[in-house]
Chains A and B, each alone.
Chain A
Amino acid sequence: MTGNPLWPHLATIVKIVDETPDVKTFRVVLDDPGARENFRHRPGQVALLSVFGQGEATISISSSPTRRDYLEFSVRRVGRLTGALHQFEEGYKIGLRGPYGNGFPLEELRGRDLLFVGGGIGLAPLRSLINYVLDRRDDFGSVEIVYGARSVADLCFKEELFTVWPKAPGVRVYTTIDRPEYGWDGHVGFVPAYLAELAPSGAGRYALICGPPIMIRLVLQELAGLGFPPERIVTTLELKMKCGIGKCGRCNIGSTMVCTEGPVFNLARLQALPPEY
């Protein structure tokens, strides 16, 4: 059914990476060459993944659109559908539709210094933008990445985090875990506290944050103290979505539909919304 926005494309899983005990990254390729060609996303956008028989889930696209041979989705096992997906093997097929949502404001970010602040699986949407920035390195200023998880095992994208990103020009990566651990000589402590220690200046810089709600709340306070104005603090919301296209009525905050007008908001816009997210 072409032109039917609720009709998923079939996609084949070509690679599965175990990120953490409960997160796997699925690299998929759309079966139909035309669909592959037409699928153009922006970092920060989402797609709906189908496990036929289990339904659909909204998952942010964690790969960068600059890498066009595949799409990647980092999925935490939280329920029935994601549990079933975690049982899948390479070669299995899923359904995929999208991309949906606004994505990060690339035009606005061009030429700017960027501070990424992530917690746990919250690094997934940021990763798409980080790799985009690294693939278009000259278009952006400096990049700092502050990322934390409960434990070493819970850190996502370890290879990029420890090997690829720190080597990229003009990139600094600061990783922390919540509690001390044998063999870890890096920083220990929560992300907001680490951020306070690092104290990056808000002058001219954009902050892009994603993580658990409590982390986001505390990080927002820190950033305000560091001189980041609300317009330059950007975050992504995760609301329950069923359709992704503004019809099922599930993801609204007042008259705003997160699936079509979000999930990326700057703090100024977020503060203008009714407090219902």
Chain B
Amino acid sequence: MSVTTLTAGVMSREDLARLLAGPASEGQLTAPVRVAPEVVLFVPVRDPDAITLDYVNSTVPPKEYLFPRAEKILGWRGSGPQPELVLPPEPQPLVLFGVRPCDLRAITVLEPVFGGPYPDLYWRRRRELTTIVGLGCTEPGPYCFCVAWGISPVAAPEADLMLTPLEPPAAGGYLVAVQSAKGEELLRRSGVGLEAAGTEPGVLRERRAAELTARFRRLIDPTGVERAAERLFEHPYWRELARRCLGCGICTFLCPTCHCFNVIDRTAPDGSGGRYRCWDSCLFERFTLQASGHNPRPTRAERLRNRLLHKLSYHRTRYGLEGCTGCGRCVAACPVNIDIAEVVADLKGLMT
């Protein structure tokens, strides 16, 4: 995807507060906040001072603002024989500030899932109502490997406004790329003006990207790993790896591109109720368990293989897009150190 930059220019660090002041006062701002010493989350923010800029990435990806953990998709009154269907509540406009390039790429990864011949109106409505302000990185984290998937750590086309910090630490202001009408509108309403960048914006960004890329510690080359789906499907590797998997599903809940969901009905005592879709995980035994008792993925080996090959192969086969963005969250959070970057290297090793 190519970046459509309508305008680009520089704004100061102080301007950032002005940019976000409007949405914050209107209760529409969601931004990273350090809620515990090691935990940064995207949460609704009324006071822009609460925002942290000192984070590698949020502990939980901001995906949930487009695809909530639990979302009412339909309601009804009077269940039983004569129900009357009612619309779920309409989502609210949102400004999502501080989204990193890996999580921005995840939006592109998810687009064909929620689009296609059966467009998902819930996803689409939230996309329309959300203005995304991307924030380029200043330092790769110990588990980051976005660059392996061809992601620039400082820019991404999915943001409505893309902010690239100009000097580390982000004190010297931002290069701002206006990438959509929504981005333009946010900027216009804030009254923040952009100054011409001394250097051509593209060159500035490339330079920052190159400096950062040199500092990545996890270097993998995933080229060709998708062939493992055909060549290594029945290899004992998966059973070996799955021996230590707990099936906890943390990796799926922290993944910016996981989209599996369950659909659950809830009924109130008066018979009214609602249908909710909730995040689910292909690592759970019941995910594919059929009413007959048959399970096509009966053990953790099949389930872990499914998750990893989905990221490394199936998504690409279906949609021509890499399913992993290298955010590193699953690697950091897995209680038994199952590391998708290592898996890439292992699979490639087994195929040579």
Chain A residues in the interface with B (C-beta under 8 A): 1, 3-8, 10, 50, 52-56, 78-79, 82, 88-89, 91-93, 95, 213, 238-240, 242-243, 245-250, 252-255, 257, 260, 274-277
How close is A111's CB to chain B, nearest CB, in angstroms? 30
Which A residues are in CB contact (< 8 Å) with B337? none
> Which residue of chain A lies nearest to B233 when distances are taken between CB atoms in the complex?
A274
Docked pose: A261 CA to B245 CA in angstroms:
31
Q: How far is the CB of A9 from chain B (nearest CB, A)?
A: 9
CA distance A239 to B291 in the complex (A): 10
Cα distance A274–B313 when bound, in Å? 13
Contact residues in A for B120 (Cβ distance below 8 Å): 5-6, 247
Q: How far apart sit A92 and B80, CA to CA, in the bound complex (Å)?
A: 8
Interface pair A55/B263, CB less than 8 Å apart: yes
Return A186 CB to nearest CB of chain B, in Å. Answer: 27
Q: How far is the CB of B235 from chain A (nearest CB, A)?
A: 12
Do B318 and A93 have beta carbons less than 8 Å apart? no
Cβ B229 vs Cβ A246 within 8 A: no
Q: How far is the CB of B207 from chain A (nearest CB, A)?
A: 38
19 contacts between A and B (CB under 8 A): A5-B120, A6-B74, A7-B85, A10-B85, A52-B80, A78-B291, A89-B81, A91-B81, A240-B287, A240-B289, A242-B261, A242-B263, A245-B117, A246-B118, A248-B280, A249-B259, A257-B318, A276-B296, A276-B306
Query: Which residues of chain B from 98 to 123 have any CB-CB distance to chain A below 8 Å in the complex?
Result: 113-114, 116-122
A275 to B297, CA, bound (A): 10
Give the Cβ gap from A162 to chain B, nearest Cβ, in Å.
28
Residues of chain A lying within 8 A (CB to CB) of residue B233: 254, 274
* Least distance between A78 CB and chain B CB atoms (Å): 4
Contacts of B273 in A (CB 8 A): 52-53
Contact of A247 among B82, B118, B265 (CB under 8 A): B118
B292 within 8 A of A: yes
Contact B261 A92 (CB under 8 A): no
* Bound-state Cα–Cα, A224 to B334, Å: 47
Complex interface residues of chain B between 290 and 312 (CB less than 8 A to chain A): 290-292, 294, 296-297, 302, 306, 309-310
Query: A238 and B290 in contact (CB under 8 A), knowing A247-B113, A247-B114, A252-B306?
Result: yes
State whether B318 touches A52 (Cβ < 8 A): no
B202-257, CB < 8 A from A: 229, 233-234
Q: Which residue of B lies closest to A94 (CB)?
A: B83
Q: Is the CB of A5 within 8 A of B119?
A: yes
**Which 9 pairs show the lowest CB-CB distances between chains A and B?**
A249-B260, A255-B314, A245-B118, A255-B317, A5-B118, A53-B267, A92-B81, A78-B291, A4-B121
CA distance A5 to B237 in the complex (A): 39
- From B121, B263, B265, B289, give the contact of A243 (CB < 8 A): B263
Given A239-B290, A248-B262, A274-B229, verify A253-B296 contact (CB < 8 Å): yes
Q: Is the interface of A mostly helix, strand, loop or mixed?
A: loop
Q: Which residues of A contact B263 (CB under 8 A)?
A: 55-56, 242-243, 248
Please tell me which one of the listed residues B114, B116, B121, B259 contacts residue A1 in the complex, with CB atoms under 8 A apart.
Answer: B121
Residue B336 CB within 8 A of the other chain? no
Q: Looking at the complex, which one of A3, A53, A88, A93 makes contact with B119 (CB distance below 8 Å)? A: A3
B1 within 8 A of A: no
Complex interface: chain B residues within 8 A of A243 (CB): 261, 263
Q: Do A247 and B261 contact each other (CB < 8 Å), given the known contacts A52-B273, A277-B296?
A: yes
B260 with A250: CB separation less than 8 A: yes
**With an 8 A cutoff between CB atoms, is B264 at the interface?**
yes
Q: Closest residue of chain A to B290, judged by CB?
A: A240
Q: Does B36 contact A (CB under 8 A)?
A: no
Answer whether residue B79 sits at the interface, using C-beta atoms and an 8 A cutoff.
yes
A276–chain B nearest beta-carbon distance, Å: 5
A253 to B282, CA, bound (A): 12
How many Å lie between the Cα of A1 and that of B262 in the bound state?
A: 21
CA distance A33 to B145 in the complex (A): 54
- Judge whether B229 and A255 touch: CB under 8 Å: yes
Given A242-B262, A254-B309, A276-B296, A1 contacting B87 (CB threshold 8 A): yes
Query: Using Cβ atoms and an 8 Å threshold, which residues of chain B touch A91?
Result: 81
- Inter-subunit contact B290/A52 (CB<8 Å): no
B113, B288, B309, B310: most-surrounded residue (chain A CB, <10 A): B288
What's the nearest-Cβ distance from chain A to residue B272, in Å?
A: 9
Cβ of B83 and Cβ of A52 under 8 Å apart?
Answer: yes
Which A residues lie within 8 Å of B310 (CB)? 249, 252
The reply to whether A248 and B261 form a contact with Cβ atoms under 8 Å apart is yes
Give the distance in Å from the alpha carbon of A37 to the alpha carbon of B73 in the complex.
Answer: 25
Structural contact, A93 and B83, CB atoms closer than 8 A: yes
Query: Quick one: which of A53, A248, A249, A276 contacts B79, CB cutoff 8 A?
Result: A53
**Other contacts beyond A95-B83, A248-B261: 8, CB < 8 A:** A5-B119, A6-B121, A8-B85, A52-B265, A240-B287, A243-B261, A246-B113, A250-B280
| Closest beta carbon of chain A to B254's beta carbon, Å | 16
